Amino acid sequence: MPRQSFPRRLGIMVQGFWNGLSKPIRALAPMANVTDAAFRRMIAAKGNPDIIWTEFVSADGLASAGREKLLPDLWFTETERPDVAQFFSAKPELMYQAALLAQELGLDGIDVNMGCPDKGVEKQGAGAALMRNPELAKKIILETKRGAGNLPVSVKTRIGYSENTIKDWLPYLLETEIAAIILHLRTRKEMSKVAAHWEVGREAVDIVNKYSPQGARTLILGNGDCLTTQEAEEKSKEYGLDGVMIGRGIFGNPWLFDKSGRIISSKEKLEAMLEHTKLFSDLYQIDPETGFGLKEFSVMKKHYKAYAHGFDGAKELRIKLMKTKNVSEVEAVTTDWILQNS
């Protein structure tokens, strides 16, 4: 990747909802088979973040015969706004079409995934693989912006593929006049094997400030190893970031973004787990006999591990929950535990 002295300006920056957010911005990370429409509704009801991301969705898939299976990943309600659709692809023309769809569905913004380390995604030339192909990355962003119209476009990426290359990589992105960059503070090679390099966040901020024109600065959010909103505020302040995106901290804790800071009892957690299960089952039309529908009931099992955690008897409860096959069984197990422990 050749070093650039100063990025050219390609297009006009559309800031959209980003311009009206208070700082530090607290964003919910997109996580496949975690932040689905059901869980996003739970999060919005219990303690809404400043921005909610959808699960990441394949633009190639949306242009295929399997389109209808992917559309539920883009469902949202008014309580979740602003809601950003995240797409991935190595084909600019399909990102253009996905952006048109986001407009049609009434979403608030579009995010381009350029950081996913999944081998299947990278094999397509998408996700983290785009860090090795900056010219294609620019084409993808520009086509996404062309399809997005008045919707702001952001990019979620990493500090580099095998090593920290933000001095070269970020100027490429900044050329395209995107509204925001969400920077996972590890390389693709590092995955989650090392601690996030938050000190690189300050370096990224300096690059953005250097290359952004007056009155149209691209925002920069950090991501990685931040589990609470208090940590998010502290890291934003320490490293000069506009905000932080939180992922893993949301597991079993839809109250994560609740500003009251109140303590959640085990009973309330389990009642929320049951509410979440019913919402998931209804929304995705799960057959109680087979466990299949628009999604599989088994998706909920990773949530049960997180909800039933950190209190006496949680391990035994988790074992029972992992054997359940439908809402009725989860309700019976949960209600029995609450009655015995109240």
Residues carrying an active site annotation? 116
| 3-class DSSP assignment, residue 111 | strand
How far is residue 51's CA from residue 107's CA, in Å, rounded to a whole number?
12
Length of the chain: 342
| 3-class DSSP assignment, residue 301 | helix
Q: Match 């969705």 to its residue by tokens.
A: 57
* Number of C-beta neighbours around residue 129 at 10 A: 21
Contacts of 215 (CB under 8 A, 6+ apart): none
State the number of CA atoms in the 13 A half-sphere of 94 facing the CB. Answer: 15
How far is residue 88's CA from residue 286's CA, in Å, rounded to a whole number?
27
Q: Please give the helix or strand (H or E) that residue 123 lies within, else none.
A: helix 119-123
The two structure tokens encoding residue 81: 């706004």
| 3-class DSSP assignment, residue 132 | helix
Residue 70: left (phi > 0), alpha (psi -120 to 50), or beta? alpha
Q: What is the CA radius of gyration of the chain?
A: 20
